[in-house]
């Protein structure tokens, strides 16, 4: 048992962030904001597949051309992911232990399903990130179509994506995963404003529908790619098997 009678200590700033409930919330939302920003940026980059092979492959070359910066950005994102996952797991267990005896009957009145399943959708997102990196970044799961080159000798990302999504199973995994990511974002995007104290009763009325619309845009934007490939709208260029 903790000594609840001891006088509260006015901890230092890092301790106020790392050890106090509101501090941990702030770190969760800050790291979450960075990751959310990445989800948006990544989508904008990916949508260039609709412009064509040249645009997407040139974009891939551009990303590689920034050299050290690419690795700094990747390390930063990885750090944010680690912070986000670490505190998510820590908070989950803390919150569980705050109610050792469960209710026999429990009815939720206002808590959304999205908010109550954050840890589970979060695990889903994490597994998807791992698979996605193995698939397209580290090229472990489907190496057969991932070392193609286009007419200009560039890494043919365009054909790699199309060949990947032509597989129904892979497309299905992506569709489900993107749905989980979007569902995670419904609560995440709204929750962030509350945690940063940027919320009040009037703003809340706009915020709720706004975050749902935002999550739908993310969902539709990402799933458009495998659907377009399966529907034959985005086609392989000539000469690629």
**How many residues of this chain interact with other proteins, rule: CB under 8 A?**
55
Q: In sequence order, what are the beta bridge partners of 155?
A: 149
The answer to whether 206 contacts other proteins (rule: CB under 8 A) is no
Q: Measured from the CB of residue 216, what is the shortest distance to other proteins in angstroms?
A: 20
User: Tokens representing 230?
Assistant: 């399966």
Q: Measured from the CB of residue 51, what is the shortest distance to other proteins in angstroms?
A: 39
The answer to whether 17 contacts other proteins (rule: CB under 8 A) is yes
What are the residues whose beta carbons fall under 8 Å from the beta carbon of 199, sequence distance 6 or more?
193, 207
Length of the chain: 241
Complex with other proteins: residue 131 or 193, whichever CB lies closer = 193
Q: Measured from the CB of residue 16, what is the shortest distance to other proteins in angstroms?
A: 6
Q: Measured from the CB of residue 185, what is the shortest distance to other proteins in angstroms?
A: 14
Instruction: Tell me how far apart the alpha carbons of residues 138 and 136 are, in angstroms, rounded to a whole number.
Output: 6
Per CB under 8 A, the list member of 67, 143, 197, 239 interacting with other proteins is 197
User: Tokens representing 16?
Assistant: 């106020």
Phi and psi of 151, rounded to 5°?
-60, -25
Instruction: Name the one range near other proteins by CB under 8 A: 34-42, 63-71, 151-159, 200-208.
Output: 200-208
User: Tokens representing 153?
Assistant: 């000798």
Per CB under 8 A, the list member of 65, 67, 68, 109 interacting with other proteins is 109
Q: Measured from the CB of residue 197, what is the shortest distance to other proteins in angstroms?
A: 3
Complex with other proteins: residue 112 or 137, whichever CB lies closer = 112
The answer to whether 6 contacts other proteins (rule: CB under 8 A) is yes
Complex with other proteins: residue 46 or 194, whichever CB lies closer = 194
Complex with other proteins: residue 16 or 147, whichever CB lies closer = 16
The answer to whether 5 contacts other proteins (rule: CB under 8 A) is yes
Q: Measured from the CB of residue 119, what is the shortest distance to other proteins in angstroms?
A: 9
Angle at 217 between CA 216 and CA 219, to 5 degrees: 60
The answer to whether 108 contacts other proteins (rule: CB under 8 A) is yes
Phi-psi region of 100 (alpha: psi -120 to 50; beta: other; left: phi over 0): alpha
CA-wise closest residue to 53 among 132, 149, 142: 149
The answer to whether 116 contacts other proteins (rule: CB under 8 A) is yes
Instruction: Tell me how far apart the alpha carbons of residues 170 and 172 are, in angstroms, rounded to a whole number.
Output: 5
* DSSP letter, residue 103: -
What are the residues whose beta carbons fall under 8 Å from the beta carbon of 238, sequence distance 6 or more?
none
Radius of gyration of the chain (CA): 21
For the chain, how many helices (H) and strands (E)?
Answer: 9, 0
Contact set with other proteins (CB under 8 A): 2-6, 8-11, 13, 16-17, 19-26, 91, 94-95, 97-112, 115-116, 118, 187, 190-191, 193-201, 204
């Amino acid at each position: 048992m903790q000594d609840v009678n001891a006088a509260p200590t006015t901890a230092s700033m890092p301790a106020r962030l790392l050890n106090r409930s509101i501090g941990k919330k702030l770190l969760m939302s800050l790291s979450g904001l960075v990751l959310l920003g990445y989800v948006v940026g990544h989508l904008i980059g990916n949508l260039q597949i609709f412009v064509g092979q040249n645009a997407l492959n040139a974009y891939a070359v551009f990303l590689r051309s920034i050299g050290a910066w690419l690795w700094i950005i990747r390390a930063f994102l990885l750090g944010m992911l680690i912070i986000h996952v670490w505190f998510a797991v820590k908070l989950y267990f803390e919150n569980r232990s705050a109610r050792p005896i469960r209710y026999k009957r429990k009815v939720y009145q206002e808590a959304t399903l999205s908010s109550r399943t954050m840890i589970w959708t979060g695990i889903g997102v994490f597994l998807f990130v791992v698979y996605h990196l193995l698939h397209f970044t580290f090229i472990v799961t489907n190496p057969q179509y991932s070392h193609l080159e286009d007419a200009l000798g560039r890494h043919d990302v365009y054909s790699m994506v199309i060949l990947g999504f032509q597989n129904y199973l892979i497309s299905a995994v992506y569709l489900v995963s993107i749905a989980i990511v979007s569902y995670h974002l419904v609560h995440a995007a709204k929750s962030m404003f509350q945690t940063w104290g940027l919320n009040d009763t009037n703003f809340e009325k706009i915020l709720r529908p706004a975050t749902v619309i935002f999550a739908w845009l993310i969902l539709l934007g990402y799933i458009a790619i495998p659907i377009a490939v399966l529907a034959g709208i985005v086609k392989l260029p000539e000469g690629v098997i």
